[in-house]
Amino acid sequence: MDFFNYNAGRLFAEQVEAERIASEVGTPAYVYSAATLRDHLHKVQKAYESLETTVCFSVKACGNVGILKLMAAEGSGFDIVSGGELYRVLEAGADPSKVVYAGVGKTDREIVEALDAGIGYFNIESEEELANLIQLARPHVAAGRSRPRAALRVNPDVDYETHAFLRTGKKETKFGVDIERAVAVFDAYADNPSVDLCALHVHLGTGGKTIDPYVEALEKVLVLIDRLRQKGHRIGALDLGGGYGADYETETVPSAAEYAAGIVPLIRGRDLKLILEPGKSICANAGILLTRVLYTKQGGSKRFVIVDAAMNDLIRPSLYDAFHFIWPAQVEPRFAPAVRSKGLHIEGSEVVDLVGPVCEGADFLAKDRPIPHVERGDLVAVFTAGAYGFTMSSNYNGRCRAAEVLVDGDTFRVVRRRESYEDLVALER
């Protein structure tokens, strides 16, 4: 699953002890495992190797330039949703032709920047956006540049069992167009000389735990592709998006190979290039958040553990009621967890609320969670924090954002320094 393990009761990131990192870098700190990132990416690449496949890592999940460089070196493309993310992947040395650009509200500036960069595909979310792309691409093509390629995002209206905020494949969503509308869009725009509308895009959401919704959506989209081809439209690629589950609890989601077992047979022999946009399934388990205990206290019947990480560092529990396994970085060997689960309760552990310093009742990392006894100064690890952790962090309450650390074997380096108070006001001077 990942390369964070306990040895004699002490937590290690690959071959580096977590306590060593925290002592040198401070807390809170995000710690990423290069070996885990490589392993998870390679498993996806191998699972789909029988097809012509481009794996485009989702930058919104974990956008640190140092990590993007690592992913690019391993052959990954990138899924972006803003001009800032395009800037990041170019800074990382990515191949622009392996970049796909989604998002419902691309500005003119962002579109022109992507045209100038020569990205692989624009994922089109509405007819008005497509008309605007055509207008902006016209002088670009007239100047001798190749026609940009576009993939129309369609909503297959598949029910995807996850948090309501994470579902994006139903009709009632701001993303994409209804699958029934897609034929009319291709009839109107497929032969345009400024934009090559030659692909379809579908994304159900994120956090899925079975392959069934993907298979159902794919079957619907393949029927649409057959219909479009019968009308003479060229469909050269299918972007199946991302959203594949990550192991927030041990072995609760399909593996890359299991997803592929349901998807590959349906596409094989159809003359379709496949694009995938995995994010959290690659990087979630590749990161932990290290935090120290500031205080403990009793409030009525409830015991609180107050740590120096807060909702501004990791908002997922407050925003999505998301589960992250949390455990001290040093425990008696008998407390070393064999699995990561909501229900893990080792005899002698205590049920606590782990909360942060932010002045909000919603500032918590876990509620009613059994963990071994901790005291002031103890180091605690929040697991499966590599996706939508740092990228969704903020400066709320005037808090400096955490450092980011990349471990590779027996070495580690800071890939984003901890912010300072000066950083907080630098743009306001």
Q: What is the pLDDT of residue 407?
A: 98
Q: Does residue 16 sit in the same domain as residue 57?
A: no
Q: Does residue 96 sit in the same domain as residue 74?
A: yes
pLDDT band at 348 (very low <50, low <70, confident <90, very high): confident
Q: What is the pLDDT of residue 167?
A: 44
Q: Does residue 26 sit in the same domain as residue 54?
A: no
> Of the ranges 189-193, 209-213, 374-378, which one carries the lowest mean pLDDT score?
209-213
pLDDT band at 207 (very low <50, low <70, confident <90, very high): low
Res 165 pLDDT > 80 = no
Domain count, the chain: 2
Average pLDDT over residues 205-213: 80
Q: What is the pLDDT of residue 180?
A: 85
Q: Does residue 17 sit in the same domain as residue 95?
A: no
Q: What is the pLDDT of residue 170?
A: 45
Res 239 pLDDT > 60 = yes
Average pLDDT over residues 320-347: 90
Q: Which of 244, 289, 209, 189 is nearest to 79 (CA)?
A: 244
Per-residue pLDDT reduced to its tens digit, 170-191: 445 667 788 889 999 999 999 9
> Of the ranges 114-118, 331-335, 354-358, 404-408, which one carries the lowest mean pLDDT score?
331-335
pLDDT band at 209 (very low <50, low <70, confident <90, very high): confident
Res 124 pLDDT > 90 = yes
Q: Does residue 341 sit in the same domain as residue 407?
A: yes
Catalytic residue chosen out of the listed positions 56, 198, 283, 359: 359
> Of the ranges 19-33, 110-124, 157-171, 266-280, which one carries the lowest mean pLDDT score?
157-171
Boundary (domain end) residue, out of 283, 315, 347? 283
Per-residue pLDDT reduced to its tens digit, 21-58: 999 999 999 999 999 999 999 999 999 999 999 999 99
359 tagged catalytic: yes
Residue 275 near residue 240 (C-beta atoms within 8 A): yes
Q: CA 103, CA 110: separation in Å to the nearest integer?
A: 11
Q: Does residue 320 sit in the same domain as residue 267?
A: no
> Mean pLDDT, the chain, as a whole number?
94
The answer to whether 388 is annotated as binding is yes
Average pLDDT over residues 241-251: 91
Average pLDDT over residues 192-208: 90
Q: CA 256, CA 278: separation in Å to the nearest integer?
A: 10
Q: Does residue 178 sit in the same domain as residue 189?
A: yes
Res 163 pLDDT > 60 = no
Q: What is the pLDDT of residue 349?
A: 86
Residue at token pair 């045209």? 115
Residue 338 vs residue 163, higher pLDDT? 338
Average pLDDT over residues 357-366: 97
The answer to whether 243 is annotated as binding is yes
- CATH number at 219 reads 3.20.20.10
Q: Does residue 83 sit in the same domain as residue 217?
A: yes
Q: Does residue 375 sit in the same domain as residue 403?
A: yes
The answer to whether 320 is annotated as binding is yes
Boundary (domain end) residue, out of 222, 257, 283? 283
Res 160 pLDDT > 80 = no
User: Domain of 336?
Assistant: 4-32+284-428
pLDDT band at 341 (very low <50, low <70, confident <90, very high): confident
Per-residue pLDDT reduced to its tens digit, 48-92: 999 999 999 999 999 999 999 999 999 999 999 999 999 999 999
Q: Does residue 47 sit in the same domain as residue 28?
A: no
Q: What is the pLDDT of residue 169?
A: 41
Q: What is the pLDDT of residue 232?
A: 96
Q: Does residue 278 sit in the same domain as residue 253?
A: yes
Q: Does residue 27 sit in the same domain as residue 79?
A: no
Q: CA 162, CA 256: separation in Å to the nearest integer?
A: 19
Q: What is the pLDDT of residue 197?
A: 98
Boundary (domain end) residue, out of 251, 283, 315? 283
Q: What is the pLDDT of residue 161?
A: 53
- CATH number at 383 reads 2.40.37.10
